[in-house]
A and B are shown apart, each in its own frame.
Chain A
Amino acid sequence: MNILKQELRMGRKSLIIWCLSLAGILMLFMLLYPSISSQLEDFQKVFKSFPIEFQQALGVVNLQLDSILSYYQFPFTYILLAGAVQAMNMGVAVISSEVREKTGDFLFVKPVTRNRIVSMKILAVLVQILITNAFVFATALILVTILSTKPYNVGLFVLITCSLLFIQIFFASLGLFISAFLRRIRTVLPISMGVVFIFYIIFLLNETLKDEKLGLISPFGYFDLSELSKTMNYDSLYLLLWFVLVGLFVFLTFRLFARKDLPSI
């Protein structure tokens, strides 16, 4: 448990900043809702004037701005994107930082197995993801409740908001796998930003292409918010795929890391 405590301590500052930023983005967008909803027709017209591909890419094809939840999807897409970067940062950094900061010679000569260190670090990432989600969920709930003029579908709200948890766990495990796979990682942010945006671009592309195979590649497609409001549920095939991939990444992280040589300083 000492490793878990240490990790949480070291991640505390960045966790607070991320939580506040995510809540800030959400608040900024949601507070625009009252003024937008009063000029609803004009906005609808503007969006409808865009080419259909563009509308699809922006995720506004089925935009029904009259309900708060269909507006909520729009800023939440950016929360997913930023949350993915945050989670992947944690995943890539949590183990590789010991090598980068050269503290590996401290931690890995302690009487603990590599597997235990890896599990504690993964647990630390998970705890931080859960904290982030709890914070975002609470903020979103307050905002939506205050701003909605009519009763809204609570089930749909939960589905949309919880997709952040799934996206974050996916990218954290992918980050862990990458950090175990690469010999030495000098900077974390370019890796996580790069990977997250590539996946997001694939997702956007597929919004217009609607190719089923391409849809399997990007986790953003697994939890497509505009689909959610139609089906009112997560797609079970995608959910299964998510499960398998996360499991595989975590398994490979343990596997690769147990055999890894720690580069000398």
Chain B
Amino acid sequence: MNVIEINQLTKYYGKHRGIENVSFSVEEGEIFGFIGPNGSGKSTTIRALLSLIHPTSGSATIWGRDCIKYGSELRRDIGYLPSEVFYYEHMKVIEVLNYSASFYDNVDYTRIQTLADVMDLDLNKRIDDLSYGNKKKVGIVQGLLHEPKLIILDEPTGGLDPLMQQKFFDLIRTENKKGATVLFSSHILSEVQKLCGRVAIIKDGTIVKIENIRDMQKHNYKKFTLEYKGLIDVHHFNLEGITNLTLNENTLHFLFKGDINRIVARLQDQALLNLLVEEPSLEEIFMHYYQKED
């Protein structure tokens, strides 16, 4: 069964494009990634799902019911964590969380303490005394305290240190195992790869591709930068799987997809000054998708 169904959703802010004909669906129980660079329309799509904005055309349903029309009822079972969190500055953390909980029926108030312990959050501090990362933790507890059946995360990891990110991912996985469906938006490919089963890739307001993470990992791209002492024999890297090869004085850049050992074999006996192997940026991956279309 599909939890979220988005159909030809379009949003214009005046003449400015938000999203155009976005369609995808999220199945019950999955962790669905939603990935794209900044300004590509991730937040616009999510805000339409939460009826914070009204779509220009198209529709979105959650559990088969229209997001705008039945928004308030649907939101009972939705937990949302925005990319930037802001709360009533003069309140204490616990007051904000209790206020949040007061909107839902049958909230287990001990869960606030449990979640705060996991995320290492001091409940008695005032919101305006919190650092960015700690505000984010308030957001996490606030988004999960009513045990939502659908969790919508909009670039949730910003401001969290790696340890907290790990704990947060564990929390999300636990909720997912208990049956929650998750929509996870991000511009960082690696974190989506860690968590999600399927991803939708959005760029310039339109969905470029919807793919299984496993399939994506099959074309696991690596970005190589080689710095040479002397002259470079470009033909040395005339290999299958190498793309975007560029030569810049004595530095060589290329993307490689395939068995990494083949490159390692080629690198032997090379007079290298430096070697960098990196995850390609999202932009570079997108370039690849566009090239495939051409």
Binding site for A on B (CB under 8 A): 13, 43-44, 47, 50, 52-54, 71-76, 78, 80, 82-90, 99-100, 102-104, 142
Contact = CB atoms under 8 A, between A and B. Distances in A.
- If over half of A's interface residues share one DSSP class (helix, strand or loop), that class is named, otherwise mixed; here it is loop
B102 A2 contact: yes
B53 A6 contact: no
Given A101-B86, A259-B54, 12 more contacts: A2-B99, A2-B102, A6-B99, A10-B88, A10-B90, A106-B86, A110-B75, A112-B72, A261-B53, A261-B54, A262-B47, A264-B43
Contact of B104 (A105, A111, A261, A262): A111
A261 B11 CA distance: 11
Given A2-B99, A261-B52, A262-B52, A109 B72 contact: no
8 contacts: A6-B88, A103-B86, A105-B86, A106-B87, A109-B52, A109-B75, A111-B73, A111-B104
A111 B82 contact: no
A104 interface: yes
Interface residues of A, number: 21
Given A2-B103, A262-B53, A264-B43, A109 B86 contact: no
A102 interface: yes
A6 B74 CA distance: 23
Contacts of B99: 2, 6
A111 B86 contact: no
Contacts of A101: 86, 88-89
A259 B68 CA distance: 10
Contact of A110 (B54, B84, B89, B103): B103
A111 B80 contact: no
B72 A111 contact: yes
B50 A106 contact: no
B82 A265 contact: yes
Nearest to A10: B88
Contacts of B47: 262, 264
A108 interface: yes
A113 interface: yes
Contacts of B142: 106
Interface string A123-138: 0000000000000000
B84 A102 contact: yes
